[in-house]
Amino acid sequence: MAVDRVRRAARPGIEPYEVLQVLYGGHRRPVLVRHPHGVVLLSIWGRTQAGRLLIVTVRPVGGFDSQIVGARDLTSDEREEFESWENSR
């Protein structure tokens, strides 16, 4: 089941619905990341409907499909960077 895969990818305390809110939210910041082993990942920085700031990292698997590989809260530095980006929009 898809929800189980999202739950396994997220850090404890992050609910699957929060991950999906960030991925499908209208106000999100995509950041391309290259893993040290050469794998290209996409981190989506965004807010849940309740305002929680999360980074959801996905790995493109072909076409428009991606696999969720992780989700976590933003650090304080990332929070400042995201809020600065948000205010510039």
CB 8 within 8 A of CB 16: no
Predicted confidence at residue 10, as pLDDT, reads 65
List the one residue out of 64, 75, 78 whose CA is nearest residue 29: 78
How confident is the model at residue 9, as a pLDDT? 58
CA 82 distance to own-chain centroid: 12
SS3 22: helix
Looking up tokens 């989506």, which residue turns up?
44
The pLDDT profile of the chain, 89 residues, written as one tens digit per residue, is 455 555 555 667 899 999 999 999 888 999 999 888 888 899 999 999 999 999 999 988 888 888 899 999 999 999 999 999 999 98
Burial code (b: 16+ CB inside 10 Å, e: under 16) for 49-62 equals eeeebbbbbbbeee
- Residue 27 pLDDT: 84
